[in-house]
């Protein structure tokens, strides 16, 4: 038998981003784009693999089926 993992890894950015402190209040803070970065030519990569998406969809179907029967039982 083959063990199938149902856990989904969390998003882990490949670039170490500096920690920023949270600024409280509703004052607008200045924002600057990196002038050296080419924002028009960014390669998009999926957050999850095809196998992980299939697992998520299957678990979602199971939750919907399970929650649907519970709702009916409550109304009887």
User: pLDDT tens-digit profile of 32-70?
Assistant: 999 999 999 999 999 999 999 999 999 999 888 776 554
DSSP string, 11-28: P--SSPPPP-----SSPP
pLDDT of residue 27: 86
- Residue 67 CA to its chain's centroid (Å): 23
pLDDT of residue 72: 47
pLDDT of residue 29: 86
Instruction: Please state, in angstroms and rounded to a whole number, the distance separating the CA atoms of residues 10 and 13.
Output: 10
Residue 21 has pLDDT above 50, yes or no: yes
Q: With bands split at pLDDT 50, 70 and 90, how would you rate the model's confidence at 19?
A: low
């Amino acid at each position: 038998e083959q063990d199938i993992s149902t856990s989904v890894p969390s998003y882990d950015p490949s670039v170490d981003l500096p920690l920023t402190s949270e600024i409280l209040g509703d004052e607008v803070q200045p924002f600057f784009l990196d002038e050296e970065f080419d924002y028009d030519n960014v390669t998009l990569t999926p957050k999850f693999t095809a196998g992980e998406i299939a697992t998520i969809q299957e678990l979602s179907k199971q939750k919907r089926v399970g929650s649907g029967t519970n709702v009916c039982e409550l109304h009887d």
